[in-house]
Amino acid sequence: MTLVNAIGEHSLGKKNCTFLQRINEGDFPLGSLPPDLVNLARHYRAFFNIPYAATAMTSLALFSAAVGPMAQVVNGCGRGPTPLNIWVTIVASQASGKSWLVKELDGELKKATREAWGRFKSNRREAEIKIKRLESDLKDREKIGTSSLAVDAKTRIENLQNIRPLNFMMGSCTAEALKKALAENPDHFVFQVCTEGKEVYSVMLGQKYSDRGCTNLDVWLAAKTGDFLSDTRIGRETVTVSGALNGMLLMIQKRVFEEIVNQETLDRGLFTRMFAIDPGFKRTPIDEMEAPPAPKNFFDEKLRHFLGLRLRLTEPDLSGATGEEAILEKILQNIITVQCDGSARKAFFNLHNEGLELENELLPIGLKVEGITGRWHEDAIQIAGLLALLENRQTIGMEIAGRACALVRWCKKSFLRAIVYKSTRQEEKFEKFFTILESTPHGKISRRDLIRTHHIKTELIDAMLTLYPEKFRSEIICPPKAGRPSEIICLNSANQPEL
């Protein structure tokens, strides 16, 4: 499979057509969403010109936040259960409506946050009263020498003192603040949402709170996968993330996004764990006509269900008899599991192989992208799990797996287009290559003429033949010099799309 076929049809031969247009990833696979989310995406597109991809991925990210640790996919890729926490970064121009879209969809999360904090304050007041009583009893028990009762009282006091709030949402934060939020969350899951995502990235990449601009990605990356990490930096406290998960929804301007995509962020794995997409936001004139209410009852009900479940399971025991470990045990006992059948696993592994093949085809043009597609199948498992929960299914089969793969394929290739454009810095050279071929008689030119007359580098010629082998054909026209034949390169008119 070539890069062109893998990413989508391009328009070779069309005038004024950029390289990025030639590797277009195609239309967003709207049909992969549940019918109610399709209707929601169409509503925002019709009345507010919000791209389908923006509504879809914002919805899935917020739903992932609501689910948190309450569900996981099993038997997906043979490496243990897959949690459903996803990271989404949506690239959009300034004042394009990205913040408004989040506010439209995150109402239930805000309600749950208010309820959780209200519950926390109420429980905290009651706990303080109980602690004072226990401390008074403790003094009496220590006086009369009832050691077992004294130990019990101390344990109950400690448990009451450790009552923590349930945080569903938070904005930009340091690594230490993220660690603290994860530690204080009874279900060890934090969701960050930031409609000006530059703030979060500036902290991750050391542009804030770092004198030397040193990146501090490790904490976020460990929190994404639930891996243990202990990170000590001079002058800062030790940051420990142990088995905790973090989800994230960021909105970011295109110019900021282009600044943070570099070889270090690619090598460190930031974008292998993230859905970074450019859905194509466009600013539009304001219509005076009032839009009907958005059809989001289905979405809100799903959010309420999982948020309510989490609130119930994280309710502390104000008798002080049990602590945080009991809360975590209660959560583990109530986890919803979604099974994968054999056909779904095959679809996920095929997506992995497709990504690997695509990755290998990017290497000839100078992109160091080893591993950039390594988590495609895991991403697809997570999206499939979210789709299954939205549709009340307990098993992921070929149909859901195929839809999940289509969503992942579109999102990931949207990002690949961005890094191909930014990392190669060869758009003008590529355009020159095609322009020369299109202007020659019969679309034919020799390799020697390209190199000597038009000063096209050999590496670029080889890259083009690798990227677009089905669009060109080579003919040996003379005996080889120094062991290599001379080639005539020409446009293969039989494969050209119609103008």
Cα separation, 257 vs 172, whole angstroms: 16
Q: How many H-runs (helices) and E-runs (strands) does the chain carry?
A: 20, 13
- What pLDDT sits at residue 6? 29
**Does pTM surpass 0.75?**
yes
Long-range CB contact pairs, 46-52, < 8 A, 24+: 47/287, 47/291, 47/292, 48/97, 48/100, 48/284, 48/291, 49/97, 49/282, 49/284, 50/97, 50/101, 50/281, 51/279, 51/280, 51/281, 52/28, 52/279
What one-letter code names the amino acid at 379? D
- What pLDDT sits at residue 481? 45
- What pLDDT sits at residue 210? 67
E strand spans, 141-297 = 189-194, 229-231, 239-241, 245-252, 274-277
For the chain, residues with pLDDT lower than 70 are: 1-25, 78, 142-146, 210-213, 233-235, 286-289, 361-368, 420-431, 442-443, 463-499
| Orientation angle between helical segments 297-313 and 52-67, nearest 10 degrees | 20
CA-to-CA separations, 476 to 446, 450, 463, in angstroms, rounded: 10, 16, 19
- What pLDDT sits at residue 397? 94
Structure tokens at 241: 């993330």
